């Protein structure tokens, strides 16, 4: 198999090749490392709330099915797949996100066997009514664990407020009720639609393995599998109204003090992946300029006691949605929201200083270099980049091409009160008093 | 710079500086960053709150960097150099740790100088806080005190950590081991600015270990750390304290005390603690205890996970962990309240079964392989390497990762069976309990 180098400014060895049935392989050999890592990811997640039917039309599936499918693939006819990894001293896990589901393992030896197991189990669905029923009990417990996590709850309450129709508002694990409607047949349909090699990427990195031999193992294993039809999944753009669904949502919760999240719904939804990248980076650098600890605006809010170390500012974007979230724990959620709006309005008047912009960009470059320390996080970034159609070094060139005017444009268009919604969790008085 | 005494400590080079500081250096070009950590070690006490507050006060300003924004800007300007702190527990000790990380200069355009300037900032922040009349400025102090109180209270927001702290309160009342690392709300409320200044002095004078991983030479690290912690301001780490003598398992009550606290939680947390007899442990037995905990609850293959989650679908997670410093075995499960007694019985049953008979060959091998692979993999994480070495001083068993892996690999089923006899009866089962809501299955 031909492996081509992926150029990057760090000088890291990154190789890419094409496996049988169209699966993309990316390798990141790291001499001197002990641990090896393998990840097989599909461009499928909680956003994919509809599955193509035989006739091609899209049909709705129960909320949480992508996550349910992720759990269920760990069981096949021979039993529990994770035990096969652990019998070799390897650890394995998986994660479902909005737009991606990734299966991975880490090991200190027997890499090739683990790589083969990874490929085989992800492409080998096996569901029975009994095993689905058992998983419903386990996932119900997982959902209840998330139900007790204030960060998670304030976040999804906010997304339900920002979005009327877009599936980003759906809780990734679904609900105890929605997963009851999941059947083996639905799982098979989702697997057939979204787990085709053309829709997936295999990333392997770390030390203790020979990359050419790993490529051979992957090639042989893929060649032994059969696939019918299938294609790269193109996620349809959702026709989401620009307006905010609900301006404000409040929920009593077992927390020590109120928690708030102020969200801004993005209307800038370009079609070209390079434009999303520019949008994402400009927004992230802008949030850094406005709200990093070095910012006088952050300092003012901190000294006023409205925010503390729990405060965070982040942006999440895909091709047909994007949102900024500002928030954390605070005694006065409404006053903080008003202060944040006032801070943004003042920043629009003052503009973004070139010096602050340069500082944020240098910090971004430092973070970029640091991200190469971890084989796992680099693998995740490579998989996401693959699905978005961007190369890893595009991050650097896009950041270098930004100007402070790009940040000002985002400040002017995106972070507006009209685009915002507020999510609040307030302590239940009684729950607080019981806390010794 | 050094007095010439350089030896190995596990995988690290141990250097003792002229001023008596203990440095542990792992020179490597594997990473894109260089990491320096300082671990200040003090016995856990009612002053935990004061000492945990100190780093938060220090970052609020220094002689030439008078505000938090100026401090942050100084580090951020160095391509996002990181200066952070944390407080955590290691046995009976509270560790206040500071970490400095800079990007390897060769990966950046123009190869800017980063480590030297970052170190100067860090040195100033550690030693020259902004004081007014010998105390932290009143407004800064009051605000950080309030934030610290809220951080202590926020433990409640993470229900698993909260349940564990409640278990420690019940099992080790008043003992250093059981104290919350950030202190209690009462201890925090009682703090004064002079007490915080005293805690700052106490920290800088207490035993300290410094760790460095990256493209350093030991002599260079010695020079850097002496710059960061000047001569005489800190004591050498000294010899490792002997492991605390744990009360004999036989002293524990014969039936576990079940403590239930009703709360508004969707998933109930069931945690349990048992004392482990650490008397006369040789290396093999020390590692056999770890294998025992792994067989019981260390992964997907373990007894607890397979029984409670996979066989009975009663939990999302079920695991066991072992503190070999103090000698405590912990079990934890995330369950529905309706299943509480059934899960308690299943945990009891698995522990009894491992006491009655050695583990089977398959689960033994699987557990050992997982531990060996996990141990060998630590070498790929600078923080894990540093923390693992620091913890090994506390148990008095400083070994290379390879030595640990080999010793674990040599553990037999009979060793694990012997280890099981060191596990005392359940002392406390704590349940943070919500409303019973049977699952949909």
**pLDDT tens-digit profile of B377-429?**
998 899 999 999 999 998 999 999 999 999 999 999 999 999 999 999 999 99
Instruction: Tell me the mean pLDDT per 10 residues along chain A, length 436.
Output: 94 96 97 94 97 88 98 95 92 96 95 98 97 92 93 98 97 96 97 96 95 97 92 92 96 96 95 92 98 95 96 96 97 97 97 95 95 93 95 95 96 97 88 42
Give the closest of A137, A147, A370 to B313, CB-based.
A137
pLDDT of residue B437: 76
Furthest C-alpha separation in chain B? 68
CA angle A355–A360–A362, rounded 5-degree value: 95
Question: Measured between beta carbons, which residues in chain A are less than 8 angstroms from residue B186?
Answer: none
Q: How many helices, marked H, and strands, marked E, lie in chain B?
A: 15, 12
Pick from B39, B61, B42, B62: which is nearest to B50 by CA? B42
Residues in chain A: 436
- Describe the strand order of the beta sheet including B33-43 as a list of residue ranges: B2-9, B12-17, B22-27, B208-214, B33-43, B93-103, B82-90
> What is the rounded distance in angstroms from the CA atom of residue B232 to the CA atom of residue B208?
12
Tokens for B110, please give them: 């123009």
Q: Would you state the structure tokens that stand for residue A44, as one six-digit string?
A: 């499928």
Put simply, whether B69 touches A (Cβ < 8 Å) is: yes
Helix (H) or strand (E) holding B276, with range, is strand B268-276
pLDDT at B240 over 70: no
CB atoms within 10 A of CB A429: 9
Say if residues A264 and A419 touch (Cβ distance below 8 Å). yes
What's the DSSP call for residue A314?
Answer: E
- What integer pLDDT is reported at residue A55 of this predicted model? 82
- For residue B221, give both structure tokens: 């690290």
The pTM for the full model equals: 0.91
**What whole-number distance in Å separates Cα of residue B60 and Cα of residue B81?**
17
Q: Within its chain, how far is the Cα of B93 from the centroid?
A: 10
Cβ-Cβ contacts under 8 Å for B27 (sequence gap 6 or more)? B13, B214, B215, B216, B217, B218
The average confidence (pLDDT) of chain B is: 91
Share of chain B above pLDDT 90, in %: 81
Instruction: DSSP for A13-65, please give it.
Output: --EEEE-GGG-EEEEEE-TT---EEEEEEES--TT--EEE-TTS-EEE--TTH
Nearest CA of chain B to the CA of A248: how many Å?
A: 22
Entry field: residues in chain B = 441
Contacts of B379 in chain A (CB under 8 A): 33-35
Residue B438 has a pLDDT of 60
Catalytic residues of A: 70
On chain B, the residues whose CB falls within 8 A of the CB of A82 are 300-301
Q: Do B79 and A308 touch (CB under 8 A)?
A: no
End-to-end CA distance of chain B: 67
pLDDT digits 0-9 by tens, B68-106:
999 999 999 999 999 999 999 999 999 999 999 999 999
The pLDDT of residue B231 is: 57
Q: Do B380 and A34 touch (CB under 8 A)?
A: yes
Q: What are the two backbone dihedrals, phi and then psi, of residue B315, each rounded to the nearest 5 degrees?
A: -155, 155
The pLDDT of residue B79: 95
Contact of B283 with B397, CB cutoff 8 Å = yes
Select the residue from A38, A81, A145, A175 to test the B interface by mutation, using most B Cβ atoms within 10 A.
A145
Sheet holding A200-206, edge to edge: A4-5, A15-18, A24-29, A200-206, A36-42, A101-107, A91-96
Strand partners, A412: none
Q: What whole-number distance in Å separates Cα of residue A314 and Cα of residue A298?
A: 14
Nearest CB to A366; choose among B80, B157, B370:
B80
Q: Indicate the angle between helix axes A354-371 and A273-291, nearest 10 degrees.
A: 110
Cα–Cα distance for residue pair A196/A213, rounded to 1 Å = 24
Chain B residue whose CA is closest to A110? B373
**B32, A298: Cβ pair inside 8 Å?**
no
The predicted pLDDT at position A91 comes to 92
pLDDT above 70 for B328: yes
Q: Using an 8 Å Cβ cutoff, are B308 and B284 in contact?
A: no
Res B234 pLDDT > 70: no
- Residue B221 is predicted with a pLDDT of 85
Distance CA B51, CA B48 (A): 5
A298 beta partners:
none
Q: Does A91 touch chain B (CB under 8 A)?
A: yes
Q: How far is CA A117 from CA A39, A74, B108, B292, in A?
A: 11, 11, 39, 28
Question: DSSP labels for B376-440?
Answer: HHGGG-HHHHHHHHHHHHHHT----HHHHHHHHHT--HHHHHHHHTTEEEEEEEEEEE-------
- Asked if A136's CB is within 8 angstroms of B440's CB, the reply is yes
Residues of B in contact with A370 (CB under 8 A): 32-33, 80, 101, 103
Grouping H, G, I as helix, E, B as strand and the rest as coil, residue A325 is: strand
Q: What is the pLDDT of residue B217?
A: 86
The residue among A427, A147, A436 whose CA lies nearest residue B336 is A147
Report B:313-342 residues touching A (Cβ under 8 A): 313-316, 334-336
Q: What is the pLDDT of residues B299-322, one digit of tens each?
A: 999 999 999 998 998 888 999 999
Cα(A337)–Cα(B178) distance, rounded to whole angstroms?
Answer: 39
Residues of B in contact with A396 (CB under 8 A): none
Which residues contact residue A372 at a Cβ distance below 8 angstroms, ignoring those fewer than 6 apart? A10, A12, A378, B32
Banded pLDDT at B238 (limits 50, 70, 90): very low
Q: How far is B392 from chain A (nearest CA, A)?
A: 21
Whether B314 and B343 have beta carbons less than 8 Å apart is answered as yes
- Chain A, 274 to 293: residues with Cβ < 8 Å from chain B are 292-293
pLDDT tens for residues B170-197?
Answer: 999 989 999 999 999 999 999 999 999 9
The answer, for A309 touching chain B at a CB cutoff of 8 Å, is yes
Interface of A with B in 196-255 (CB under 8 A): 206-207, 253-255
- Is the Cα dihedral B65, B67, B71, B77 positive or negative? negative
Instruction: List C-alpha distances in Å: A161 to A81, A166, A428, B47, B356.
Output: 39, 11, 22, 45, 56
Q: Which residues does chain A have within 8 Å of residue B73's beta carbon, measured at their own beta carbons?
A: 294, 359
Distance from CA of B351 to the nearest CA of A (A): 21
């Amino acid at each position: 198999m031909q492996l081509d180098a992926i150029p990057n400014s760090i000088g890291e060895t990154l190789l890419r090749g094409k496996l049988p049935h169209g699966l993309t392989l990316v390798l990141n050999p790291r001499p001197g490392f002990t641990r090896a890592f393998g990840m097989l990811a599909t461009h499928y997640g909680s956003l994919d709330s509809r599955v193509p039917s035989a006739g091609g039309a899209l049909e709705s599936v129960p909320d949480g099915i992508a996550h349910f499918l992720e759990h269920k693939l760990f069981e096949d006819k021979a039993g529990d797949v994770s035990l096969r990894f652990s019998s070799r001293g390897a650890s394995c896990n998986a994660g479902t996100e909005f737009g991606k589901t990734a299966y991975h393992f880490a090991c200190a030896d027997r890499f090739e066997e683990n790589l083969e197991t990874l490929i085989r189990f992800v492409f080998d669905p096996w569901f029975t009514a009994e095993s689905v029923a058992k998983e419903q009990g386990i996932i119900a417990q997982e959902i209840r664990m998330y139900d007790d996590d204030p960060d998670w709850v304030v976040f999804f309450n906010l997304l339900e407020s920002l979005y009327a129709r877009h599936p980003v508002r759906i809780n990734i694990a679904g609900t105890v009720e929605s997963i009851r409607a999941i059947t083996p047949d639905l799982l098979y349909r989702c697997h057939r639609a979204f787990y085709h090699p053309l829709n997936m990427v295999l990333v392997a990195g770390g030390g203790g393995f020979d990359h050419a031999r790993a490529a051979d193992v992957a090639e042989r294993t893929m060649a032994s599998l059969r696939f019918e039809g299938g294609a790269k999944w193109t996620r349809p753009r959702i026709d989401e109204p620009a307006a905010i669904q609900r301006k404000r949502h409040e929920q009593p919760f077992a927390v020590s003090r109120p928690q708030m999240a102020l969200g801004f719904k993005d209307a800038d939804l370009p079609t070209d992946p390079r434009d999303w990248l520019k949008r994402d980076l400009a927004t992230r650098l802008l949030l850094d300029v406005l709200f990093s600890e070095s910012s006088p605006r952050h300092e003012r809010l901190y000294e006023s006691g409205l925010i503390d170390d729990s405060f965070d500012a982040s942006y999440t974007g895909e091709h047909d949605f994007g949102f900024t979230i500002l928030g954390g724990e605070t005694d006065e959620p409404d006053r903080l929201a008003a202060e944040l709006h006032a801070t943004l309005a003042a920043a629009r008047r003052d503009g973004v200083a070139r010096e602050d912009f340069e500082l944020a960009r240098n910090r971004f470059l430092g973070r970029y270099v640091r991200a190469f320390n971890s084989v796992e996080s680099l693998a995740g970034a490579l998989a996401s980049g693959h699905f978005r159609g961007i190369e890893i070094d595009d991050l650097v060139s896009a950041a270098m091409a930004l100007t402070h005017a790009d940040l000002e444009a985002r400040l002017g268009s995106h972070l507006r009160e009209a685009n915002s919604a507020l999510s609040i969790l307030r302590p239940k008085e009684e729950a607080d008093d019981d806390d010794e | 710079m050094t007095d010439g005494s350089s030896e190995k400590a596990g995988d690290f080079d141990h250097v003792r500086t002229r001023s008596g500081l203990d440095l542990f250096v792992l020179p490597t070009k594997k990473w894109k960053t260089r990491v320096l950590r300082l671990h200040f070690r003090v016995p856990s006490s009612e002053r935990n709150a004061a000492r945990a507050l100190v780093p938060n006060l220090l970052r609020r300003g220094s002689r030439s960097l008078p505000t938090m924004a100026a401090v942050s800007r100084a580090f951020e300007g160095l391509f996002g150099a990181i200066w952070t702190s944390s407080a955590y527990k290691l046995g009976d000790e509270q560790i206040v740790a500071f970490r400095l990380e800079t990007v390897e200069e060769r990966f950046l355009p123009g190869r800017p100088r980063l480590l030297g300037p970052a170190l100067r900032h860090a040195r100033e922040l550690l030693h020259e806080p902004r004081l007014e009349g010998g105390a932290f400025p009143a407004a800064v102090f009051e605000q950080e005190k309030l934030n610290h109180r809220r951080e202590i209270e926020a433990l409640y927001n993470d229900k698993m950590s909260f349940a564990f702290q409640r278990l420690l309160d019940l099992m080790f009342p008043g003992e250093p081991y059981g104290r919350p690392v950030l202190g209690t709300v009462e201890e925090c409320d009682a703090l004064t600015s002079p007490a915080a200044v005293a805690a700052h002095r106490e920290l800088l004078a207490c035993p300290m270990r410094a760790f460095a991983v990256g493209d350093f030479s030991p002599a260079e690290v010695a020079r850097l750390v002496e710059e960061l912690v000047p001569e005489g301001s800190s004591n050498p780490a000294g010899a490792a304290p002997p492991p605390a003598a744990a009360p004999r398992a036989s002293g524990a009550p014969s039936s576990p005390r079940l403590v239930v606290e009703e709360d508004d939680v969707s998933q109930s947390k069931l945690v349990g603690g048992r004392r482990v007899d650490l008397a006369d442990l040789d290396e093999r037995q020390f590692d056999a205890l770890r294998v025992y905990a792994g067989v019981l609850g260390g992964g997907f293959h373990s007894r607890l996970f397979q029984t409670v989650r996979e066989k009975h679908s009663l939990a999302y997670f079920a695991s066991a962990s072992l503190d070999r410093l103090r000698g405590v075995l912990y079990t934890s499960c995330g369950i529905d309240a309706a299943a509480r007694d059934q899960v308690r019985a299943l945990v009891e049953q698995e522990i009894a079964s491992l006491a009655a008979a050695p583990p089977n060959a398959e689960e033994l091998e699987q557990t050992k392989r997982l531990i060996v692979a996990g141990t060998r993999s630590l070498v790929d994480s600078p923080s894990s390497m540093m923390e693992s070495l620091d913890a090994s001083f506390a148990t008095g068993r400083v070994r290379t990762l390879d030595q640990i892996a080999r010793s674990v690999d040599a553990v037999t089923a009979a060793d694990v069976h012997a280890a099981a006899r060191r596990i005392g009866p359940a002392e406390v089962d704590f349940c943070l309990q919500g409303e019973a809501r049977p699952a949909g299955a």
